[in-house]
């Protein structure tokens, strides 16, 4: 029998294969993962470990008159029951605005808000203890996004004195973008055609498969070691230290295995709770959310209401866009300000439009907090502007792809923020390519036995044998920023060590990058092989002993931590070659042409000038580098002007759907994509990102929504929050372009998010083509398709 999985299982892994960048070697953690030996956060075990559990509010908005924990404490096996009164330091945290209580203080603002935490010897003991905590609530009607805009009448989600940063009224953040002459009367007069549309995007969940979990272990120095599934170790720590009243060196985080993230682990969840319980009891504490708690334990994608007006000339040239966007930020700020910045700055899509006026606002409500999810503000907008492009094409009697290509931005185009696009922007080409892909077979197949239900809307539910089934085709294209924007000091740290072990040169890569499944660890090894010419690469566990890597979000990690690893490897190479220069008297000219290949130092003519093992001897070379992308600027508060984003990324989709128009059921038949990735560092992993992102877009199009009624979440389960199964997901041919971005390492372009944007509008466009319906809301439900 295997022993328990302890933090010791989080050891360095060696990266197999000999491949550098551009190849597709297997994942360093792949063997562990298929054997069931990979240590995810929820797998960790520690001697004498306790289980932590959370009491959460059943109400969206209520005053807490009292909390009585005595009956819970009296239960045998219970070691601690903590409320906000037991917090040693600051009682608030937050990514951008520290407005969220670690545990509720006198009031709750959303359904599921944590009120108390329990540590006990068994999860069932902890649950029984939670059930014995008595909370006296004074419940008020929840404030939704409509009420939020009228605080005079409906009140405030936070007492006005509590507002931090930009907040005023119930507004978390707003951003206006004024471009050209906006939507002035003069501009409007120039448009032959104006189409107006109102659109809505429901609340999507990241639905990563590995629920929030971690193990906090009290250390002898009075500090805490936390083994955790997260997206950004250092920003977790930054928020935890003030609450725990501990200095950073006493709060040490190590990344445990992460079962997906997609933005949902950008905010902290159980991190502080587990540490507080460990601090209080002096024992290791593990917290593992179940699926229901996971729905309450992390932020979701902002629901959006969007009003667009697009004006164009008769021949299809866009003249202006007016957009008004309201995002439901929920009870706490999370990353709402940055989401607003994205919505405003990317709100017209990848098009050249001389005039634009965009207003994006996030409001505080008593709904679940919303924040980061793959696509981050750009997803909602893409559904809006792409729906508008189809509407405009219909109004003009133009082919929708032709209309898009006619107005597509390209390198040199000016964005509404005034930023000039200074890297390839092959929007028209992506559309051309995706349109040119062969179409799937005409329709479901009839065989001798009838039809194969699995090819039909409804699948094996047997709701149609072909009756009512109509095919539709639709297109979408989107624009997403890469990296942290708006003047944020975005950097990543990497340490690369090169040494001789057992007679061979071995490189160690140590970063704090959260590997959440994206394959960053694979690419790091590839980069080091390419730069240092060694086969053997070891990936150290990510932890806070090395500098921050920033978040695994914003499509940024290959660019940023990949860039840092490249820089660190270059520094190592520089040191190695300097050593050769000293030792062998190499001329500067010779050194300038030297490369490390297959464990040798070779010159321009590929002649071996030294053996790496000899150069290294028993003196390892160890370099740590901070890598930054070009600085960006904050958007002007009034006009939205500024060099706000460092890089843009584009994807186009063509969706083919079969719709049972009588029952309103949809089968996506094929979802083809074309995307520019600058440089495919690992082509297999790139496809994985595009397929996975597209499928999340498919989910948003036809099934995924957290249903909230009067602040209450009605479907916090995988029974009722549906994500696509393999029978809902079609073949997805992909055409990958590699047009180098001269500003990025290897010319690469962040790839993870763009496919999530355009899949949704493409599918909805295809459903519109099949049904002739307007469909202004996603997810599209059978009720919408049947008009009932």
CB of 567 to other proteins, least distance (A): 26
Of the two residues 124 and 598, which places its CB atom closer to other proteins in the complex? 124
Of the two residues 123 and 169, which places its CB atom closer to other proteins in the complex? 123
Q: 317: helix, coil or strand? A: coil
Of the two residues 614 and 720, which places its CB atom closer to other proteins in the complex? 720
Of the two residues 48 and 249, which places its CB atom closer to other proteins in the complex? 48
CB of 443 to other proteins, least distance (A): 15
- Within 13 A of 630's CA, how many CA atoms are on the CB side? 14
CB of 255 to other proteins, least distance (A): 13
Q: What is the dihedral of CA 708, 714, 717, 720, to 10 degrees?
A: -90
CB of 33 to other proteins, least distance (A): 3
**Dihedrals φ, ψ of 44, to 5°?**
-70, 145
Q: Which of 113, 118, 115 is nearest to 129 (CA)?
A: 118
Q: How far does CA 276 lie from the centroid of its chain?
A: 28
Strands (E), 229-278: 251-255
Q: Which of 189, 477, 193 is nearest to 316 (CA)?
A: 193
Q: Which two tokens stand for residue 232?
A: 């950004």
- Within 13 A of 269's CA, how many CA atoms are on the CB side? 33
Of the two residues 101 and 541, which places its CB atom closer to other proteins in the complex? 541
Of the two residues 457 and 550, which places its CB atom closer to other proteins in the complex? 457
CB of 20 to other proteins, least distance (A): 18
Of the two residues 172 and 751, which places its CB atom closer to other proteins in the complex? 751
- The full 3-state SS of 524-574, as one line of letters, equals HHHHHHHHHCCCEEEECCCECCCCCCCCCCCCCHHHHHHHHHHHHHHHHHH
Q: Which two tokens stand for residue 224?
A: 């805490």
CB of 139 to other proteins, least distance (A): 21
CB of 696 to other proteins, least distance (A): 8
Of the two residues 39 and 241, which places its CB atom closer to other proteins in the complex? 39
Of the two residues 129 and 275, which places its CB atom closer to other proteins in the complex? 129
719: Cβ–Cβ under 8 A, 6 or more apart, which residues? none
Of the two residues 216 and 671, which places its CB atom closer to other proteins in the complex? 671
Q: 690: helix, coil or strand? A: helix
β-bridge partners, 356:
179, 321
What Cα–Cα distance (Å) separates residue 180 from each residue in 183, 350, 509, 519?
A: 9, 17, 48, 42
Contact 565, 509 (CB under 8 A): yes
Q: Which of 520, 443, 491 is nearest to 748 (CA)?
A: 520
Contact 218, 279 (CB under 8 A): yes
Of the two residues 132 and 178, which places its CB atom closer to other proteins in the complex? 132
CB of 702 to other proteins, least distance (A): 8
Of the two residues 667 and 768, which places its CB atom closer to other proteins in the complex? 667
The Cα–Cα gap between 226 and 705 comes to 32
CB of 657 to other proteins, least distance (A): 12
β-bridge partners, 224:
218, 251
Q: 322: helix, coil or strand? A: strand
Contact 117, 73 (CB under 8 A): no
CB of 377 to other proteins, least distance (A): 21
Of the two residues 223 and 457, which places its CB atom closer to other proteins in the complex? 457
Pairing of strands 370-371, 708-709: unpaired
Q: What is the DSSP letter of 162?
A: G
Peptide linkage before 68 cis (omega within 30 of 0): no
CB of 176 to other proteins, least distance (A): 36
38: Cβ–Cβ under 8 A, 6 or more apart, which residues? 29, 32, 257
CB of 729 to other proteins, least distance (A): 5
Of the two residues 198 and 662, which places its CB atom closer to other proteins in the complex? 662
CB of 754 to other proteins, least distance (A): 14
CB of 261 to other proteins, least distance (A): 8
What Cα–Cα distance (Å) separates residue 610 from each residue in 507, 594, 607, 753?
A: 18, 10, 9, 44
CB of 632 to other proteins, least distance (A): 29
706: left (phi over 0), alpha (psi -120 to 50) or beta: beta
The Cα–Cα gap between 159 and 156 comes to 6
Q: Which of 354, 394, 398, 433 is nearest to 187 (CA)?
A: 354
For residue 612, the surrounding DSSP H or E stretch is: helix 612-616
Radius of gyration, CA atoms only, the chain: 27
Of the two residues 575 and 786, which places its CB atom closer to other proteins in the complex? 786
């Amino acid at each position: 029998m295997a022993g328990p999985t302890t933090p010791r299982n989080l050891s360095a892994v060696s990266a197999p294969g000999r491949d550098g960048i551009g190849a597709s070697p297997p994942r360093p953690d792949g063997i562990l993962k298929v054997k069931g030996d990979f240590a995810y956060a929820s797998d960790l075990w520690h001697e004498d470990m306790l289980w932590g559990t959370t009491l959460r509010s059943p109400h969206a908005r209520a005053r807490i008159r009292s909390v009585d924990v005595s009956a819970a404490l009296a239960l045998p096996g219970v070691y601690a029951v903590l409320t906000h009164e037991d917090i040693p330091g600051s009682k608030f945290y937050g990514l951008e605005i520290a407005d969220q209580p670690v545990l509720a203080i006198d009031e709750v603002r959303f359904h599921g808000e944590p009120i108390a935490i329990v540590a006990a010897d068994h999860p069932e003991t902890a649950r029984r203890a939670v059930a014995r905590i008595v909370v006296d609530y004074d419940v008020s009607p929840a404030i939704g996004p409509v009420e939020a805009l009228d605080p005079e009448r409906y009140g405030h989600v936070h007492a006005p004195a509590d507002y931090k940063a930009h907040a005023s009224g119930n507004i978390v953040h707003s951003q206006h973008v004024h471009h050209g002459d906006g939507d002035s009367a003069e501009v409007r007069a120039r448009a032959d055609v104006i189409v107006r549309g109102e659109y809505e995007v429901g609340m999507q969940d990241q639905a990563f498969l590995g629920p929030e979990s971690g193990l906090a272990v009290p250390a002898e120095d009075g500090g805490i070691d936390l083994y955790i599934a997260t997206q950004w170790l250092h920003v977790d720590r930054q928020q935890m230290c003030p609450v725990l009243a501990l200095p950073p060196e006493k709060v040490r985080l190590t990344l445990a295995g992460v079962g997906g993230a997609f933005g949902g682990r950008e905010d902290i969840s159980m991190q502080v709770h587990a540490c507080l319980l460990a601090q209080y009891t002096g024992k290791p504490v593990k917290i593992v959310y179940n699926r229901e708690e996971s729905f309450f334990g992390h932020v979701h994608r902002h629901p959006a209401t969007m009003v667009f007006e697009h004006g164009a000339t008769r021949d299809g040239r866009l003249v202006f866009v007016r957009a008004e966007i309201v995002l439901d930020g929920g009870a706490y700020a999370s990353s709402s300000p940055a989401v607003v910045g994205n919505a405003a700055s990317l709100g017209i899509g990848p098009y050249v439009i001389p005039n634009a006026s965009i207003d994006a606002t996030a409001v505080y409500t008593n709904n679940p907090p919303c924040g980061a999810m793959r696509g981050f503000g750009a997803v909602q907008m893409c559904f809006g502007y792409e729906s508008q492009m189809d509407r405009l094409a219909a109004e003009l009697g133009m082919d929708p792809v032709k209309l898009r290509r006619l107005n597509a931005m390209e390198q040199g185009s000016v964005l509404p923020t005034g930023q000039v696009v200074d890297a390839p922007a092959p929007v028209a080409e992506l559309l051309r390519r995706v349109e040119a892909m062969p179409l799937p077979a005409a329709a479901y197949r009839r065989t001798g036995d009838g039809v194969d239900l699995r090819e039909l809307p409804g699948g094996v539910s047997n709701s149609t044998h072909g009756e009512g089934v109509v095919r539709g085709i639709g297109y979408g294209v989107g624009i997403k920023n890469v990296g942290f924007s708006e003047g944020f000091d975005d950097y990543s740290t990497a340490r690369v060590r090169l040494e001789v072990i057992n007679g061979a040169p071995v490189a160690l890569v140590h970063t704090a990058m959260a590997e959440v499944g994206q394959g960053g660890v694979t690419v790091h090894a590839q980069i080091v092989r390419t730069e240092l010419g060694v086969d053997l690469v070891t990936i150290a566990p990510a932890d806070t002993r090395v500098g921050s890597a920033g978040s695994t979000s914003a499509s940024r990690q290959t660019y940023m931590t990949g860039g840092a690893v490249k820089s660190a490897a270059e520094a190592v190479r520089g040191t190695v070659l300097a050593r050769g220069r000293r030792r062998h008297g190499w001329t500067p000219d010779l050194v300038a042409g030297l490369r490390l290949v297959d464990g040798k130092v070779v010159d321009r003519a590929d002649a071996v000038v030294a053996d790496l093992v000899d150069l290294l001897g028993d003196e390892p070379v160890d370099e740590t580098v901070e890598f930054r992308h070009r600085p960006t600027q904050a958007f002007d508060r009034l006009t939205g002007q500024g060099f706000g984003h460092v890089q843009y990324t584009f994807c186009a989709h063509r969706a083919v759907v079969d719709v049972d128009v009588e029952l309103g059921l949809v089968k996506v038949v094929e979802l083809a994509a074309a995307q520019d990735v600058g440089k495919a560092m690992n082509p297999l992993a790139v496809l994985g990102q595009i397929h996975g992102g597209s499928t999340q877009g498919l989910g948003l199009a036809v099934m995924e929504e957290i249903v909230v009624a009067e602040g209450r979440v009605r479907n916090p389960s995988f029974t009722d929050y549906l994500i696509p199964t393999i029978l809902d997901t079609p073949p997805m041919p992909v055409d990958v372009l590699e047009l180098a971005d001269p500003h990025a390492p290897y010319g690469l372009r962040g790839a993870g998010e763009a496919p999530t944007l355009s899949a949704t509008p493409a599918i909805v466009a295809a459903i519109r083509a099949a049904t002739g319906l307007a469909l202004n809301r996603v997810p599209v439900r059978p009720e919408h398709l049947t008009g009932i």
